[in-house]
Amino acid sequence: MDRKIKVVIAKLGLDIHWRGVYLVAQYLKEAGMDVVYLGNKFPAEIVEAAIEEDADVVGLSSLSGNHLSLGPIVVDMLREKGLHNVQVFMGGVMPPEHAKRLEKEFGIQKVYLPDTPMEEIISGISTAVKNARLTGPVSYEIKSD
């Protein structure tokens, strides 16, 4: 049997709105995922936790404007550490154009904006992880270059 999907989820930087991120964490748990909620963290700490927890997914919550500045840093740091299979999802309040840019230019797998049903988030994450497990190694190899 596949191991449970492991999600490390954090509030990004100084953002204070914990209602949404906590709810998403609860719903993912109820959907059978293994969820570690970190609270407020900056990118380096989030990546460290992702390594420690052997995460499939990093979830970032941002509702006060640091999505474009800090979100991409998390992806870059993960890739620098060779964690190519860890998928980064974001959720929160931001202009839809920013969400598109995060997905197209900055390697965020998917940004969930307000009004998204929980089911959509759960299935989005499950599918992405399933695909990643099919196409790539599940354990992470540190790139030598």
Footprint of another protein on this chain (CB under 8 A)? 11, 13-19, 22-23, 26-27, 37, 39-42, 64-66, 68-70, 93-96, 113-115, 117-119
Report the distance separating Cα 58 and Cα 66, nearest Å: 16
Least distance (Å) between residue 70 CB and another protein: 5
Smaller CB separation from another protein, 25 or 132: 25
Smaller CB separation from another protein, 6 or 133: 6
| Helices marked H in the chain | 19-30, 43-53, 67-80, 96-105, 118-135
Residue 89 in contact with residue 62, Cβ under 8 Å? Answer: no
Smaller CB separation from another protein, 117 or 145: 117
Least distance (Å) between residue 57 CB and another protein: 18
The closest of 96, 85, 59 to 74, measured between CA atoms, is 59
Least distance (Å) between residue 136 CB and another protein: 30
Contact partners, residue 96, CB within 8 Å, separation at least 6: 113
